[in-house]
Amino acid sequence: MSDPILADAKTRPVVRLRPKAEARAIRHGFPWVYADELVTDRRTQALAPGTIATLEDAERRPLATVTVNPRSKIIARVLDRDAEAEIDRGWIAARLARALELRERLFEAPFYRLVHAEADGLPGVIIDRFGAVAVVQPNAAWAEAMIGEIAAALIDVTGVETVIKNGSGRARGLEGLPEETLVLQGQIEAPVPVSMNGATYMADVMGGQKTGLFYDQRPNHAFAARLAKGARVLDVFSHVGGFALACLAGGAEHALAVDASTAALDLATKGADAMGQGARFATRQGDAFATLEALGAEGAQFDLVICDPPAFAPAKPALEAGLRAYERVARLAAPLVAPGGYIVLCSCSHAADLTQFRNASARGLGRGGRRAQLLHTGFAGADHPMLPQLAESGYLKSLFFRLD
């Protein structure tokens, strides 16, 4: 019996859209088929998660090559619009080479997001590169099944020496995949130093959040650094010092990083020391909301305040609660900004669009007693491309305000 994951295009299974499903969306580039749009007979339900199949419309006309996971709400993901495409190591290598060509145009050093899932033609796959180290997040069943092929192609195309599989996060749970982080190739012993925007970050590629560093905020770090010269900076939800260290590199007088994770703050301190900025950097461990309240009670003032929280609204059911949380962040942070100072409010929530997030932030600033100018709206860097047909791929929003 042939491997259901690597089945030949001529013998692999066929799955079919329901009569009322919108085949035109697939033809125009939408990459997903939801469970209620596909004929899910016993044969389809019996397919192993990650099976490669041919997708047909209701009239049995071939539409695309897809990967099927009967356990997921997203039951099929488009791999290739060629319904006869062979999905093998060569196919993966071609997608990686195309992604690499873009990043090498954008960046002088090999520190970037190499693959941004559907937008780079590898559905559910995230790959962040840290020089000779690459971290792969196989967040879809097909990528989990073909992780060996992905790792081999990655080494062939990029020349990286170490490949780490980071099998953690909400997306894998939605696919029915277990949590697992391990080294697939090579070895890793210490945090990886990453130079970005003149700052030095220490990326914990084995035990940190996500892949160990957030490359998506790179252009927003740079914009904040332009506002930070001579400033007292507060960076809340700092992780390994994202905004704080960039601001120090931009000439900030002092930066205070706040995070719930002691380990992340230790890495931020090591980054500041590596930059020679340790004397101008401090940390405060604790819950962000409680710390914002405490700083307000202390009468603390900063020239630039940045709040970059985790996703408060990762899905639609959490939207209202998430918007209230963003409003609360803005309300608590607003009084900490010195007159004429700046505040940066960020959201990485898929479910909260830009207008909703901007309105929640403005309400919070107003409730915090401040009037604001919106100076700039930032998004993810170009190594996080957006698939126009998939709004979820444009998740990051960063709002820069000046306060009266």
Question: pLDDT value at position 263?
Answer: 95
In this predicted structure, which of 56-60, 138-142, 218-222, 389-393 has the lowest mean pLDDT?
Answer: 389-393
Mean pLDDT value of segment 381-403: 92
Bridge-based pairing of strands 372-378 and 337-347 is: unpaired
Of the CA atoms within 13 Å of residue 348, those in its CB half-sphere come to 13
Question: pLDDT value at position 5?
Answer: 60
Superfamily of domain 14-80: PUA domain (2.30.130.10)
336-346 per-position pLDDT tens digit: 999 999 999 99
Question: pLDDT value at position 22?
Answer: 82
Question: pLDDT value at position 24?
Answer: 87
140-158 per-position pLDDT tens digit: 999 999 999 999 999 999 9
pLDDT band at 226 (very low <50, low <70, confident <90, very high): very high
pLDDT at 4 exceeding the cut of 90? no
What residues have CB less than 8 Å from 257, skipping those under 6 apart? 235, 238, 241, 244, 265, 268, 281, 282, 283, 284
What residues have CB less than 8 Å from 147, skipping those under 6 apart? 136, 138, 165, 184
Mean pLDDT value of segment 122-140: 97
Question: pLDDT value at position 2?
Answer: 38
Q: Report residue 269 as tokens.
A: 């301190």
Mean pLDDT value of segment 261-279: 97
Alpha-carbon dihedral sign for residues 177, 37, 391, 153: positive
pLDDT band at 7 (very low <50, low <70, confident <90, very high): low
Contact (Cβ atoms closer than 8 angstroms) between residue 196 and residue 110: no
CATH number of 198-403: 3.40.50.150
Q: In whole angstroms, what is the distance from residue 367 CA to residue 349 CA?
A: 22
pLDDT at 57 exceeding the cut of 50? yes
pLDDT band at 46 (very low <50, low <70, confident <90, very high): very high
pLDDT at 1 exceeding the cut of 50? no
Mean pLDDT value of segment 46-56: 96
Mean pLDDT value of segment 27-43: 94
What are the residue ranges spanned by the domains of the chain?
A: 14-80, 89-185, 198-403
Catalytic residues: 348
Q: What ranges make up the beta strands (E) of 158-253?
A: 162-167, 180-185, 192-196, 199-203, 232-236
The class (CATH top level) of 89-185 is alpha beta
Question: pLDDT value at position 3?
Answer: 53
Closest Cα partner for 358 from 340, 378, 342? 378
- The residues with which 53 forms a beta bridge, in sequence order, are 66
166-181 per-position pLDDT tens digit: 998 888 988 999 999 9
